[in-house]
């Protein structure tokens, strides 16, 4: 369904853009307002937002923040600002903030990021204050993202999260706060002629401002920056997440097509998290083909958690690729499947003890740690030094006749892939995946 909605949104915005460009306008503010209206109407159509959630798109301010916002996706009633069409909303009611640029060049990029960073800092202060006041926040999604990134079993409550050693603590709490922060979008209808040009401009901005940004860069970068068909996508787990080598994660990646679909992914995921409703994402058998740009890695410096950044520079030739890539599961060895089956029949985590180690070695000639690493690398399992768990509640194992198999957190996706491959398999749903809270 999301593909169809994306197609509709893309066509709608293209038609409206053509209408605006056909009008002769002498002043940029008027033209900017016209493009802002296009963006807001595009988000506010019924084919994007689910009904009965009291969601709306308005312009105005977040309470306590002086920065004016071109468009906000909000839930519920806000305070009207005098007799204008502007509204003031508390940060907790804001799901998305939108800054619109007709053309995204280096100046507009810097202005847009700085503008949105001020808004995101304000929202971050609000979230921290609510956390400090003891307000309940569900940490389940943050734990899932943390476990996918690190392969280590995450904390079950906030107190345990705060007690994590650095850099695990800063990684976890950053992911947690991002789960509840608004999606910030810098939407440029035109701009850089190549994906490489947009990436280079972002790297230049980052290097020029690293001193001011480094402390909390993952939290103050926009979730999505667009320039025509090209985009920069923040990968913080809601919904995009990509593990990088050496314990880091891909903070920012670039795409070269279907900006509307990416925008919808962010919006629908945020609606699902904040409003607590399932969204029709479909089988997810294809993914946007993103190219990593910035990688963040949490480190401990003098006992404090900080983020260290590394960059990945690619030529335009290297960036040529399909718009999407087909999803397929990693194939598991018979030894890894044996370990997953052992977990499936446990009411709790699987003990990685000497008995299991000897069984796997004797039956498959494989060291237990190697089999466990296979499972952890699927991002469907996490471990401690002594235990193995499935990450999600619906983790599924599919076993082939030769004892090898596949696993995935998403039962619907793995089932659809198997049907597409015409593979007749025996499905096994781990008990741990069903019972974990």
- Asked whether the predicted pLDDT for residue 87 surpasses 50, the reply is yes
pLDDT band, residue 432 (cuts 50/70/90) = very low
- Asked whether the predicted pLDDT for residue 266 surpasses 80, the reply is yes
Q: How far apart are CA 213 and CA 178, in angstroms?
A: 16
* Alpha helical stretches, state H, 290-410: 316-319, 334-344, 354-364, 368-376
Buried/exposed code over 99-137 (b: 16+ C-beta within 10 A; e: otherwise): bbbbebbeebbeebbebbbebbebbbebbeeebeeeeee
Residues with Cβ < 8 Å from 358, sequence gap 6 or more?
none
- Per-residue pLDDT at 404: 94
- Per-residue pLDDT at 207: 87
| Block residue for tokens 């960073």 | 117
- Per-residue pLDDT at 215: 61
pLDDT band, residue 327 (cuts 50/70/90) = very high
pLDDT band, residue 308 (cuts 50/70/90) = confident
- pLDDT: is 165 or 38 the higher one? 165
Q: Are 140 and 276 in contact (CB under 8 A)?
A: no
Buried/exposed code over 253-286 (b: 16+ C-beta within 10 A; e: otherwise): bbbbbbbbbbbbbbbbbbbbbbeeeebebeeeee
- pTM of the model as a whole: 0.88
- Asked whether the predicted pLDDT for residue 153 surpasses 80, the reply is yes
pLDDT band, residue 385 (cuts 50/70/90) = very high
- Per-residue pLDDT at 9: 59
Closest by Cα among 306, 120, 308, 109 to 204: 109
pLDDT band, residue 94 (cuts 50/70/90) = very high
pLDDT band, residue 425 (cuts 50/70/90) = low
pLDDT band, residue 4 (cuts 50/70/90) = very low
pLDDT band, residue 53 (cuts 50/70/90) = confident
pLDDT band, residue 25 (cuts 50/70/90) = very low
Helix, strand and coil content of the chain, in percent to the nearest 5, comes to: 45, 25, 30
- Per-residue pLDDT at 56: 85
Region 304-310: mean pLDDT is 86
Helix, coil or strand: residue 57: strand
- Asked whether the predicted pLDDT for residue 390 surpasses 50, the reply is yes
- Per-residue pLDDT at 214: 55
- Asked whether the predicted pLDDT for residue 356 surpasses 60, the reply is yes
Question: Between the CA of residue 147 and those of 69, 170, 287, 382, 384, what are the distances in Å?
Answer: 35, 14, 21, 6, 11
- Asked whether the predicted pLDDT for residue 300 surpasses 50, the reply is yes
Q: How far apart are CA 335 and CA 372, in angstroms?
A: 9
- pLDDT: is 27 or 375 the higher one? 375
Region 336-364: mean pLDDT is 95
Q: How far apart are CA 20 and CA 16, in angstroms?
A: 6
What is the sign, positive or negative, of the torsion defined by CA atoms of 328, 334, 339, 345? positive
Region 123-143: mean pLDDT is 93
- Asked whether the predicted pLDDT for residue 5 surpasses 80, the reply is no
- Per-residue pLDDT at 3: 40
Q: Which pLDDT tens digit goes with each residue over 187-219? A: 888 889 999 999 999 999 998 886 655 567 788
Residue 146 DSSP label: H
Lowest mean pLDDT among 25-39, 192-206, 312-326: 25-39
User: Token digits for 85?
Assistant: 């069409």
- Per-residue pLDDT at 36: 60
- Percent of all residues in the chain with a pLDDT value above 90, rounded to a whole number: 54
Q: How far apart are CA 175 and CA 146, in angstroms?
A: 7
- Asked whether the predicted pLDDT for residue 46 surpasses 60, the reply is no
- Per-residue pLDDT at 361: 97
- Per-residue pLDDT at 52: 78
Pairing of strands 224-227, 230-234: antiparallel
Buried/exposed code over 394-419 (b: 16+ C-beta within 10 A; e: otherwise): ebbbbbbeeeebbbbbbbebbbbbbe
Lowest mean pLDDT among 139-153, 163-177, 420-434: 420-434
- Per-residue pLDDT at 45: 55
Computed over every residue of the chain, the mean pLDDT equals 85
- Per-residue pLDDT at 20: 54
- Asked whether the predicted pLDDT for residue 250 surpasses 50, the reply is yes
- Per-residue pLDDT at 217: 78
- pLDDT: is 323 or 395 the higher one? 395
Residues with Cβ < 8 Å from 124, sequence gap 6 or more?
177, 181, 216, 219, 220
- Percent of all residues in the chain with a pLDDT value above 70, rounded to a whole number: 84
Q: How far apart are CA 157 and CA 138, in angstroms?
A: 9
């Amino acid at each position: 369904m999301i593909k169809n909605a994306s197609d509709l949104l893309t066509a709608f915005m293209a038609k409206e853009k053509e209408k605006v460009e056909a009008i002769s306008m002498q002043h940029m503010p008027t033209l900017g307002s016209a493009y802002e209206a296009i963006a807001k109407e595009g988000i506010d159509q019924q084919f994007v937002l689910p009904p009965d959630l009291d969601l709306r798109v308005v312009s105005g301010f977040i309470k306590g923040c002086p920065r004016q916002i071109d468009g906000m996706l909000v839930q519920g009633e806000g305070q009207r600002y005098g007799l204008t069409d502007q509204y003031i909303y508390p940060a907790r009611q804001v799901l998305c903030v939108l800054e619109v640029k007709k053309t995204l060049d280096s100046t507009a990029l810097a202005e847009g990021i700085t503008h949105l960073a001020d808004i995101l800092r304000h929202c971050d202060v609000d979230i921290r204050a609510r956390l400090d006041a003891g307000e309940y926040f569900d940490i389940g999604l943050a734990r899932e993202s943390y476990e996918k990134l690190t392969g280590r079993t995450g904390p079950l409550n906030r107190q345990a999260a705060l007690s994590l050693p650095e850099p695990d603590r800063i990684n976890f709490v950053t992911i947690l706060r991002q789960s509840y922060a608004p999606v910030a979008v810098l939407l440029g209808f035109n701009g850089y002629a190549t994906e490489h040009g947009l990436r280079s401009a972002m790297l230049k901005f980052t290097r020029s401002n690293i001193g001011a940004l480094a402390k909390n860069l993952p939290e103050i970068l926009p979730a999505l920056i667009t320039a025509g068909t090209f985009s920069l996508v923040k990968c913080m787990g809601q919904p995009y997440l990509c593990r990088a080598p050496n314990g880091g994660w891909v903070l920012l990646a670039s795409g070269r097509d279907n900006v509307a679909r990416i925008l919808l992914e962010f919006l629908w995921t945020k609606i699902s998290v904040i409003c607590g409703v399932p969204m029709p994402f479909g089988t997810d058998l294809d993914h946007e083909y993103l190219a990593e740009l910035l990688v963040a890695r949490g480190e401990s410096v003098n006992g404090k958690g900080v983020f260290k950044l590394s960059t990945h520079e690619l030529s335009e030739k290297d960036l040529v690729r399909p718009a999407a890539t087909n999803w397929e599961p990693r194939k598991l060895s018979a030894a890894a499947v044996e370990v997953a089956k052992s977990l499936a029949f446990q009411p709790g985590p699987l003990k990685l003890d000497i008995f299991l180690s000897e069984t796997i070695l004797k039956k498959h000639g494989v060291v237990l740690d190697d089999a466990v690493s296979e499972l952890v690398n699927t991002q469907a399992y996490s471990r401690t030094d002594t235990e193995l768990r499935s990450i999600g509640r619906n983790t599924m194992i599919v076993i082939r006749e030769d004892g090898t198999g596949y696993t995935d957190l998403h039962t619907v996706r793995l089932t659809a892939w198997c049907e597409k491959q015409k593979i007749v398999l025996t499905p096994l749903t781990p008990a741990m995946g069903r019972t974990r809270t």
